Structure 1
Amino acid sequence: MEDDDQWELCNDDGFVFKRKRRRIDAPPPSSDTDQHAALRRRKKQTLLKLKSKYQNEILQWESLSNTLRSIQPRATLQQPSLPSTFTFTSSSSSASPDTSLLHHLLFQVEAQEAIIRDVSNLCDIAEAVCVKREEHFKQTLLDLPIWASPLDLMHVLCSDDDD
C-alpha cells in the first residue's frame, strides 16, 4: 500500500502512465497576504509617482497662466487717443500734432514689442514642457521589461500555461 501512495496515474492526451508523485511543498499561508501587500505597495508607489508628476505639471501650467495674466494688462493699457485727423505739412505751426502722433506710434510699437517678447517667452516655456513630456514618454517606453531581457519575453510568449 505504501508503494501505491508514491505513484500517480497521468493522462497525457490519451497516453496513460504511472509516475512517482512529486512532493509539493505548500507555500506558507502568509505568502498570499504578502503578495497582496506587495501589490498594494506597488500600486501606492505608482499612484504617488503619478500624483507628483501631475502636481509638477499643474505648477508649470499655473506659472504659464500667471505669466499670461501679467501680460494682459500691458496689452490692454489705456493708450492716448489719436486725434481723428492729422495733417502732415512742413509748416512749423503743425509740428506739434506730428510729434504727438510720432510719440503715440512709438508707444504702440514698444508696447507691441513687449507683448511679442512675453508671448515668445511663453512659447519657449510651453515648448520646453512639451519636449520634457515627450522625453519622459520615450523613456517609459525604453524602460519596459522587453528591452531588458527579450529572451524572457519570448519564453513567456511561447509558454503553454493554462493559467
Structure 2
Amino acid sequence: MALTKADRNILRLMQQDATITLSELAEQVGLSPSSAQRRLQKLREDKVILRDVSIVDPKKVGGAVSMLVEVELERDRPELLPPFQRWVAETPEVQEAWGTSGRGDYTLVILAQSVDHFDALADRMMELNPNIRKFTTSVVLKTLKRGLVVPVE
C-alpha cells in the first residue's frame, strides 16, 4: 500500500492520541470527516494500524522493575524453539521480545513487580524451556525514553 501525505498525517496523529475524535482528525489532516474515516479504516484493514491501545504507567499498577534479558538457546535442538516462542507470547511479563544477532539469540524486555517476582519467572522460564543454554539479565535503573511511535516521514 502506498501511503499518501494524508495517510502519513493520520498515522502521526493517531500515534500521538488514538482517542482523537474523527472531526478533530479530519480537521487537522485537512479532509472531510467521511474521507478521514475511510482512510483510517483502510489503514486498519491493510494492517498498517495494528491496534489501538492505552499506555499504562507500570509504577501505578505494581510493575516497578524492568529487566533486559538476553537468552541463548541450544542451537542443535530446533524442535524446542516453538515452545519457547509460545512461552514468550503467553507470558504477560514479557513486554517485548526480539530475535537478535550477537551473543544471545533473543532479547526480552520483562516487567516484574519485584526482583523476587522476576526470580520466580526466570525459574519457570528455565523449567519450561530446556533448550535455554543460559541467560543474562540487566536491571533497568532509569528509563530515558519509552515509546512506540514509528516515524512515518
**TM-score of the two chains, using structure 1 as the length reference:** 0.16
Bigger radius of gyration, 1 or 2?
A: 1
Task: Tell me which protein shows more helix as a share of its residues.
Answer: 1
Whose relative contact order is higher, 1 or 2, with alpha carbons under 8 Å and at least 6 apart?
Answer: 2
TM-score (norm 2): 0.17
